[in-house]
Amino acid sequence: MIIFMWSGPRNLSTALMRSFENRNDTKVIDEPFYAYYLKKTQLNHPMKKEIINHYPTSQKQILKIITEKTKKNEIFYQKHMTHHIIKNTRLDWLNKGHNCFLIRHPAKVINSYIKKNSLMNIDDIGFKKQYEIFNKLKKNKINYTVINADMILRDPSKTIKKLCKILKIRFTKKMLNWPKGKRSSDGIWSKVWYKNVELSNSFSRFKKEKYNVPKKYNDIYEESLNYYNEMNQYSI
């Protein structure tokens, strides 16, 4: 089976990829549209040239990889960033797998993102596009699942078990712990973004903290919060 995990940046997405990759029956792919997105937008991201030169940049190439038929009892877990799905990107392949939406409160996302990169507009953190894809699936009656990152951190075992049940796959305790370090499956951008997850061997503990969003990001925050609240109503 294929799992399309739709997330935005700074959202527990790499830790969840680690969780699935630690299964014996699962292969993963890390942000397959990233090079395509950078080439099309020419946005100034860390390691832009290296990423564009290293990975497929055409939709045709990418779609061939991500819609590849899986072997019997094999899981193909795909970590997708919603903001990589820019205008004129095909989405007629969404019914090829089970779509999941990993969401996190935008105050937490924004505070984490601005430590690593410049936040120019709402598209940079993916909430708007995530909500568009979510609505597209609802409209076309294609199955989807919404997972709140905080629920994973509050109770990893309970939440991952619930997700596995929905996906109709066997839960294994290996999904709760994994070896520290780098992975050959990580994107080459891991040296910029993955420091914390490389030091981890499990999901971090939930911390009840108040996150204050800098005033200059208020408009981005308020719009993102609306999308987040709409999707969160459907979280498992």
Q: What pLDDT, in 10s, does the model give residues 170-225?
A: 999 999 999 999 999 999 999 998 998 999 999 998 888 788 899 999 999 999 99
- Give the β-pairing of 75-81 and 26-30: parallel
Averaged pLDDT, 228-235 = 98
pLDDT digits (tens, 9 = 90+) for 2-25: 999 999 998 999 999 999 999 999
pLDDT digits (tens, 9 = 90+) for 109-157: 999 999 888 899 999 999 999 999 999 999 999 999 999 999 999 999 9
Spell out the domain ranges in the chain: 2-232
Mean pLDDT of the chain: 95
Averaged pLDDT, 56-84 = 96
Averaged pLDDT, 154-163 = 97
Task: Label each residue of the chain as H, E or C.
Answer: CEEEEEECCCCCHHHHHHHHHCCCCEEEEECCCHHHHHHHHCCCCCCHHHHHHHCCCCHHHHHHHHCCCCCCCCEEEEEEEHHHCCCCCCCCCHHHCEEEEEECCHHHHHHHHCCCCCCCCHHHHCHHHHHHHHHHHHHCCCCEEEEEHHHHHHCHHHHHHHHHHHHCCCCCHHHCECCCCCCCCCCCCHHHHCHHHHHCCECCCCCCCCCCCCHHHHHHHHHHHHHHHHHHCCEC
Q: CA-CA distance, 126 to 99, in Å (whole number)?
A: 16
Based on C-alpha coordinates, what's the Rg of the chain? 17
CB 222 within 8 A of CB 66: no
Architecture of domain 2-232: 3-Layer(aba) Sandwich (3.40)
Residue % of the chain over a pLDDT of 90: 89
* CB-based contacts of 216, cutoff 8 Å, min separation 6: none
pLDDT at 207: 81
Q: CA-CA distance, 176 to 152, in Å (whole number)?
A: 10
pLDDT tier for residue 167 given thresholds of 50, 70 and 90:
very high
Burial tier of 166 (Cβ tally within 10 Å: 0-12, 13-18, 19+): middle
CB 4 within 8 A of CB 99: yes
pLDDT at 118: 87
pLDDT digits (tens, 9 = 90+) for 73-110: 999 999 999 999 999 999 999 999 999 999 999 999 99
- Give the β-pairing of 2-7 and 75-81: parallel
CB 103 within 8 A of CB 147: yes
Threshold 0.85, pTM exceeds: yes
pLDDT at 116: 81
pLDDT at 101: 98
Reading the block at residue 176, the tokens are: 């709760």
